[in-house]
Structure 1
């Protein structure tokens, strides 16, 4: 058993060295990002509009307003964030000059704010969290592997923490605040690590689902107990033969109207107009603004506006519901403000673990050197005395 624990400790220590810096960065940026909606709502006036209690302007009108002044630009994504929130048009500038996010009043069409997403503090924090500001493929892989290592660290940490005797349980669950600072640091690493493990595992798994397709598919398959739902995987296409033969300018308006009728209680809508010849118009109708779990999904023929498919939240498989819930779980908002606070505290503890763990290692290393030095000095004295 002692040899086993030593092996676990060795793996825990060196895996911590390998992933520690990345885990700290990912965790601390996760803390900052948890309350990004609340903070931005408080400091940015353009994230709110007066509710005029009348229908929104059609998406074709808002899209045209959003593209004004940007010749050659295109826009495939649009949001209606809610009755008291703006609409948003994601403008892709020509010649790979980047993108702009144009906010508009959904009732008047007036542009209220234009923003380069890469200049938004929280978008930068998100990119650090996801990619460490490296190229997405490289950064995503580095972060993903580090999170996998962190999951192993949590498991090995629980094994190392587990009390040998029942009488040790109370001591293992409390921090000895009146002890020496090294003891307090030791307890902070072990006790807080134990309390945060359950939430941290959820954050790690949902994060891996964002980073890796295989994790997302694994969650989907597991939640569905292996049962297949081919209708959810079906790829829908528009009839490209109709391209150029019909006036498609107002088709998206027709599609949006149908989605509003089909989901009258939805607070937020995401519209995606696939620019490819056989692409479709996709609309997601979300039950709550800025929440991405409960949604109805629509697909429309882009040349005629014919509805090709509607999948309500109730019709979705358990696996699809779990994948839809992923973001809300990851930031804690699935449980509202309480969930965000829990996610924030768990992320903060995760950020502290590489630091407290390194201090523990450093202390043992110095203690080992000190002990070795005393033994050498003792042998030298003994030798001089001729004993």
Structure 2
């Protein structure tokens, strides 16, 4: 019996310091966690909201031939001169999107072109798009990426610790306490209700939001992304994405990149005429780059896409070593890395996954608020106790 008391004291001491760290790290990161949670809620149903309010995104399927990539690009170039097209996206029932994206000078536009008639339906500056603006805040805090991203990712890393420490503090000491930890007593006083909302909802939310937080860290910290890959691959290093190049010494050159992209796209469509997913055709900007065609069987996610690269002069397929190649060649570690964004937004599990991500983000945003109310309540209680002495 004499051995039990020191062990209990040691346990209490451990929980005391965990509680102090939980408090102060929560106060430090709380505002950022609240911001990430709210913006995460806004972005959870981005695609569904855009589809509901932007009719130009849809073009009914017709019994007519589709215009080839280079023709759609030429039409879009006229609507948006002096910009370089990045890709042309085809998807049954949806308007073809010619995407213009560039780092320096920085710009991001999408030209929506009817793939049967060539009519331009919309020229959209994505830098003025509501969801794009929210994404820039969610990723970078509207600061330069090299400043904003480390701030938010560090806050996310602290939040992961808060989730784990919260579980330790929540863990019931006895069966009697356990009965009270799994439900919110709605009829209790508001301070007790706030306490239950923080602890009980925090417990249930942890098992979902920890994946959202960890996937955010993968996008924010390269060292973390490489570490996850190293663990999931059994000790292999992540191969860095590199541009794929054509053989410029070839004597069998086609006319510069145009004919190659159209021929390859036509071949893909002919080989799989019932395909209901999406094609992204990347027309090379110069004679050195390869033609890239991404075939995605499920456009609501990204991880299953088949990335194929071809020499623009010979049409010969080029094998790549990084994870963004053929899906059939992707290792378990490659697939886990590819899933990261889909896990982050919940789309990996379809609409139910997005609903869970939305609810988890909303609860995560509430954690700093309910936590501060608990802290202020305890602080005021201590102040009153001191005054009564």
TM-score under structure 2 length normalisation: 0.89
Aligned CA distance change for structure 1 residues 331 and 282 (closer, same or farther; 3 Å)? same
Give the aligned partner of residue 289 of structure 2: 279
Q: Deviations over 1:280-329 (max 9, x none)?
A: 22221101223212121101113333221385423311111112222221
Q: Deviations over 1:243-274 (max 9, x none)?
A: 99641222111222344456653511223345
8 Å CA contact retained: 1:271, 1:281: yes
Aligned CA distance change for structure 1 residues 297 and 5 (closer, same or farther; 3 Å)? same
Partner Cα separation in structure 2 for residue 144 and residue 95 of structure 1: 25
Give the aligned partner of residue 239 of structure 1: 247
Q: CA deviation at 1:170?
A: 1.4
Question: Which stretch shifts more, 233-242 or 365-374?
Answer: 233-242
Give the aligned partner of residue 175 of structure 1: 184
Question: Which stretch shifts more, 161-170 or 52-61?
Answer: 52-61
Give the aligned partner of residue 383 of structure 1: none
Give the aligned partner of residue 367 of structure 2: 353
Partner Cα separation in structure 1 for residue 133 and residue 242 of structure 2: 35
Aligned CA distance change for structure 1 residues 366 and 141 (closer, same or farther; 3 Å)? same
SS in 1 for 2:195: helix
Map 1:210-289; keep pairs closer than 5 Å: 210-227=219-236, 236-241=244-249, 246-248=254-256, 249-261=258-270, 265=275, 267-275=277-285, 278-289=288-299
2:208 aligned residue (187, 195, 199): 199
Give the aligned partner of residue 4 of structure 2: none
Question: Which stretch shifts more, 151-160 or 236-245?
Answer: 236-245
1:111 aligned residue (120, 125, 133): 120
Give the aligned partner of residue 108 of structure 2: 99
Give the aligned partner of residue 57 of structure 2: 47
Partner Cα separation in structure 2 for residue 51 and residue 355 of structure 1: 49
Matched, 1:298 2:338: no
Aligned length: 373
TM-score under structure 1 length normalisation: 0.89
Give the aligned partner of residue 326 of structure 1: 340
8 Å CA contact retained: 1:220, 1:318: no
Q: CA deviation at 1:90?
A: 2.0
Q: CA deviation at 1:77?
A: 2.3
Partner Cα separation in structure 2 for residue 349 and residue 188 of structure 1: 9
Aligned CA distance change for structure 1 residues 344 and 159 (closer, same or farther; 3 Å)? same
Aligned CA distance change for structure 1 residues 229 and 348 (closer, same or farther; 3 Å)? closer
Aligned CA distance change for structure 1 residues 108 and 95 (closer, same or farther; 3 Å)? same
Give the aligned partner of residue 166 of structure 2: 157
Aligned CA distance change for structure 1 residues 245 and 294 (closer, same or farther; 3 Å)? closer
1:314 aligned residue (328, 345, 365): 328
8 Å CA contact retained: 1:19, 1:150: yes
Matched, 1:120 2:120: no
Q: Deviations over 1:193-250 (max 9, x none)?
A: 00000101110111112222233333333322235797x9786421233599641222
Matched, 1:31 2:45: no
Aligned CA distance change for structure 1 residues 318 and 94 (closer, same or farther; 3 Å)? closer
8 Å CA contact retained: 1:236, 1:280: yes
Partner Cα separation in structure 2 for residue 48 and residue 143 of structure 1: 36
Aligned CA distance change for structure 1 residues 322 and 54 (closer, same or farther; 3 Å)? farther
Give the aligned partner of residue 19 of structure 1: 29
Give the aligned partner of residue 384 of structure 1: none
SS in 1 for 2:31: helix
8 Å CA contact retained: 1:133, 1:139: yes
2:382 aligned residue (360, 368, 373): 368
